[in-house]
Structure 1
């Protein structure tokens, strides 16, 4: 089995980010990151499963336990949990609740049970999952199969996406498919089909079927990839690398369109100095209509300068999923190229595992020793070099 310094350093980071309550977002003692976050914790947990490391897998189990224990009575999964010794601080979101905490939690439980070949683990959390599934139904609001997500409602919490956000629809499909591997429930299978159908009608080009917003769909002129979101105000047409990677992994859209997503994604990564795919592209500039929306969507300090953070920044974590998408389509050489680029980025400043990078200048941004930056290396390395596969 291939082991290199990049993989070893990533495993070390995940160990340093482990706590009795689960994975912390960063090994660095920065208050907001010294918490067990739902999405960060599950992504680190997926890396733990890929690694086969017993201690890391135990930390993943603790992560899921912490999230379940602090589930709100209405079904909401915490965005993050911090243990202060005497008190536990639970957040369900800042300026808005986090929709993806719910779907990542379901994915985490199911992936863990699948890895362990232990359906009783899932049974232990059955009530938690059922609350999550009911809540997701309610969040459709119009009962037409797509989730309606508030601004700031997912990992891109300082970006402009809102309404019918592509990323959240795809995460829901992954969550439902993961759960139905065990449940084998006809109504869930039917729901997966209906959500998939609505994604293909509203997010792919030249689709047949009644659109949510026909006029806005026609104006969006969808071509090479799925746009990042739409709402009653129209479509946001930026390329969302995370969402389009999930679409490829989940096999959404016809084969010609999936090939166009692949070509667009690979070309975009090749054109960037880091050889990584930016999270959203193109960046929103000061003269653009959406700049005011972007500029005001921050609770503390503005970070979304063009080519940085969500506004065109490059994240190892996102590229980890892009690499998995490439592998799912048989693009093994391209996936290895992405892994090498992730490792190069993670190794900056003696393996500081920065949160993200400026896609133009390559300068590091955000928090160092970011756990899910290490998780990207582990997930992709193991999927390339071993027979490891997630339940998709």
Structure 2
């Protein structure tokens, strides 16, 4: 079988009547319908078009919607013991990014299937999602405030106005507005986009800074920094966020070219020839080390070059490759796809969750569904079969 066929086969193994599971491996925490993992797998299924995968995406979205909190939060995951559901909205902190992924997923499903009735069916759930996102601004300042552990990087010490979450919200708004014009939401999308461009990268002559004192101390970068909080900036490079910035065409063409030059320089120097989740790594003795080592509910996994702390995730690199396609860097995107497939096929196509960026050793669970999804999404995007942006 080809790399693509192996990836599709794994997604079919985790496709259930209630939605996509996170892994085909029999590990309890991964045998659940996860919002983030499930939607990303569903996006891959939608681009492929296989009926089983498209149906699993629909079931994922219905499971999440039926267990939405009355306040609007979308579950982090839903576990079923027989027919008895157990719903989690997060571990040490609530998950903020699940709401955006849910809205993106519904709109992408409708975009690909033309099932407008499904949009109307889940419109109330999406609107409740937009309402809870608005409340997470707290000061009505357009940027959501995200707690530490509040998104996919749940054991990494970013917090505050995290860029990744702002960009996902922009994407969710754009997707919804493709189907239904709503002046308040249109204004919100423009406002958030403007705040991101003005605040997450030092630019000569830039105005309207959210935190003027912190911005004055911010150094010039070729990328959008990870987060802003009242105490200042967290200036790490966040691969997922910057990949989304390319996909959404945030900033100018110059911004995008500078970013690609920066990311490709990092990629070329690393053993796996792929992007790390965050960079540079946090090491013992660094100011953030205590926040990193204490930020885990059970065991510490974020050793230097592993997991979120500089580890290499095929899923994240799938989105990086998509960003390269949108930046017209097709050959570079093809290189990324080849490297993703190289990692996925290790140990007879074990699709590990992530890899140590320095040693190349595997980490996390095998048969991780979104590792396969990253490959499928990029492969389909390279054939000009694209998501709604």
TM-score with structure 1 setting the length: 0.98
Match of 1:51 in 2: 48
Residue deviations 1:145-202 (CA, integer Å, cap 9, x gap)? 0010000000000001100000000000000000000012222221111001111111
Structure 2 match to 1:234? 232
Query: What residue in structure 1 maps to residue 135 of structure 2?
Result: 138
Q: CA deviation at 1:117?
A: 1.8
Distance in structure 2 (CA, Å) of the matches to 1:283 and 1:223: 17
> What CA distance in whole angstroms lies between the structure 1 residues aligned with 2:180 and 2:118?
13
Equivalent of residue 166 in structure 1, options 138, 163, 166: 163
Q: Describe the shift of the 1:216–1:7 C-alpha distance in structure 2 as closer, same or farther (beyond 3 A).
A: same
Could you give the per-residue CA deviations for residues 13-65 of structure 1, whole angstroms, max 9, x where no partner exists?
00111111100000001010000000000000000011111111100100000
Deviation at 1:230, TM superposition (A): 1.3
- State whether residues 239 and 277 of structure 2, in contact with CA within 8 Å, keep that contact through their aligned partners in structure 1: yes
Match of 1:290 among 288, 291, 311: 288
| 2: CA distance, partners of 1:197 / 1:372 | 31
2:341 matches 1:326: no
Mapped contact 2:311–2:354 kept (Cα < 8 A): yes
Count of residue correspondences: 388
Distance in 2 (CA, whole Å) between partners of 1:252 and 1:342 is 25
1:121 deviation in Å? 1.3
Residue number in structure 1 paired with 2:338? 340
Match of 1:27 in 2: 24
Counterpart mapping for 1:1-392 below 5 A: 5-206=2-203, 208-384=206-382, 386-392=383-389
Q: Which runs of 5+ in 2 are unaligned?
A: none
Give the match's secondary structure for 1:230.
Answer: strand
SS in structure 1 of the partner of residue 328 of structure 2: coil
1:204–1:253 CA contact under 8 A, matched in 2 = no
CA contact (8 A) 2:12 2:53 kept: yes
Q: Secondary structure at the match of 1:125?
A: helix
Is the contact made by 2:4 and 2:376 (CA closer than 8 Å) also made in structure 1?
yes
Q: Residue 222 of structure 1: CA displacement?
A: 3.4
Please report how far the alpha carbon of residue 219 of structure 1 lies from its aligned counterpart in structure 2 after TM superposition.
Answer: 2.0
Kept in 1: contact 2:202–2:218 (CA 8 A): no
> Contact 2:256–2:327 at 8 Å: present in 1 too?
no
CA deviations on 1:205-251 (whole Å, 9 max, x unpaired) are 22522322222222231311011111112111110010001011111
Question: Could you list the runs of 4 or more consecutive aligned residues of structure 1 that deviate by over 4 angstroms after TM superposition?
Answer: none
Please report how far the alpha carbon of residue 119 of structure 1 lies from its aligned counterpart in structure 2 after TM superposition. Answer: 2.0
TM-score (norm 2): 0.98
